[in-house]
Amino acid sequence: MNNKLEKLYARIIQRATINLRELEFDVKPYVWNLVPLSQMEKFYAFYGITADHPINFHFKHSGLAGSYFLGQCQVINSLLYKSDVRGDELKEKGDVLQFKNFEIEVSKDEEIYIADSALIKTMVHNYSHDPESLEQFFIKNTVSTYYANIHGAPCDGCFLEPFSTIDLTTVHDCVIGAFSYIQAGEINQLNIKPGTIWVRSQGDFDFSYHYPQDQLRKYVYFAAGSKPQGIFIDFMKERKDEFQRVFDTINLEFPVPVPDSSSLDRYAVIDLKTHIGENVLVAQRAFLKNSRLGKGANAQENCFVINSCLAGNNITAHGAKIIEADLGPDVFVGFNSFLQGKPESRLTIGKGCIIMPHTIIDIHAPLAIPDGYLVWGLITGQKDLEANSMSINDFEAIENGLEKGNMTFKGCGRTLVKAFRERIHHILEANGALFDGVNNKGHAQKNQDISFNTIQPYPKGELKGLYPTITIQP
């Protein structure tokens, strides 16, 4: 092997494979040639500073090419390539976590701890929802690939395929297939096939949907020995160059007016025809083109809003894409969802709809989703919509479960809807959508005065591409 960067990558892959030995899964054929290690030498890493987010970083024997950090984080013996690690919602000393009938007090400020892992274009955010790991959001012996999300989900010895999400879940020694979304409490030694949508609260409800594999392959497909393929990958590649300017330019002016109550990240792409309303949050690596974001709307990391209108208090969760669409107020669009209308066939989504995480709506004729609907799965027209949606009121009335097409639901519908509504309110509150000029400050207000600092890897020698041991504290 040529240098310590390559040796480190080989060791990380080996450790992840050892963790997955019960599943007889070998990580190396999937990722060894996924990103040329020479890419690790080309990009600076950067971190943000605000008065509301005291910094505390420790980097040791790691590669951080193009990655972004905010909050408390340790990166030890790991490779992060163009990943976002946001610690702005970590728990603080004295906070109380409610778990079933227990109220557990946090003994010290929580930190994100990444050890012996490789995260490639991965989003890490939120805080640990593991009651056994209150003070540490840990990621160990894990390899994650393009545009996956690790959201409040400690993980140990896992492999995440492209566009997958583990959310509020503790995951041990699992393979999470491409475009799968898992929010299921704690799971162990599972090989989740691509396109699995699983939302579970033990004892309350269990929602599952499985994409037909032949149809999913059109959108994303990942196999050992080949690069990820499909519409999702092509979509990201086609817009890759538009991000180059914002990362190459040191001082960048906002191209559009931004209200005092809103924040537009300097590492977002936005064009002159886009309107930003009050209390709007636009995160780094978001992409906005010829669109309107009404009061309280947001576009989180890796979100794309193109030729679309969001009326207000809209949540566009990490990785979601909205193209040629009109969304009424209070619409939630879940992680990595792909909503694509056409200029002559626009998509309309009514007030208060919940678009489940990892939903695909890809239409060639106009389609309107009524107010107050819960939507999931693959939808290409009216017939699919009828098979993959219900009014929220009807879903709340479910008492003993339901099977509908490729969706199976067990438990009480009212409980699932209540959980989503509470989560939606929390996200709006955390992102500053409910700010009244004095109270309820969130990310949209707290991120306004953020400053960025860059750090560089060794430029040559056997350590080329790695970063020196760096500790950055208040």
217 pLDDT exceeds 50?
A: yes
Averaged pLDDT, 447-455: 91
Instruction: Write the Ramachandran bin of 393: left for phi over 0, alpha for psi from -120 to 50, otherwise beta.
Output: alpha
For 122-167, the DSSP string reads -EEES----TT-SSEEEEES-EE-TT-EEES--EES-EE-TT-EEE
| 44-66: pLDDT as tens digits | 999 999 888 778 999 999 999 99
What is the C-alpha to C-alpha distance for residues 47 and 37, in angstroms, rounded to an integer?
A: 22
The edge-to-edge listing of strands for the beta sheet with 360-362 is: 269-270, 287-289, 304-306, 321-323, 338-340, 360-362, 378-379
> Percent of the chain scored above 90 by pLDDT?
89
pLDDT tens column, 274-329: 999 999 999 999 999 999 999 999 999 999 999 999 999 999 999 999 999 999 99
| pLDDT tens figures, 128-147 | 999 999 999 999 999 999 99
Fold classification of 239-393+413-444 is UDP N-Acetylglucosamine Acyltransferase; domain 1 (2.160.10)
Nearest to 420 by CA among 373, 360, 378: 373
Residues 111 and 356: their CA atoms lie apart, in Å, by: 29
Same fold, 4-226+449-472 and 239-393+413-444: yes
> Looking at the predicted structure, is the pLDDT value of residue 1 above 50?
no
* Res 245: pLDDT: 84
**Domain spans of the chain, in order of start:** 4-226+449-472, 239-393+413-444
pLDDT above 70 coverage of the chain, percent: 99
Q: In whole angstroms, how far apart are CA 235 and each of 232, 327, 338?
A: 5, 21, 10
In whole angstroms, give the CA distance from residue 358 to residue 211.
10
Give the torsion sign (CA, 22, 27, 28, 30): positive
For 286, the token pair is 């978001």
Sheet strand arrangement including 315-316: 315-316, 332-333, 354-355, 373-375, 389-391
Does the pLDDT value for residue 171 go beyond 90? yes
How far, in Å, CA of 223 to CA of 234, rounded?
16
CATH T-level topology, domain 4-226+449-472: UDP N-Acetylglucosamine Acyltransferase; domain 1 (2.160.10)
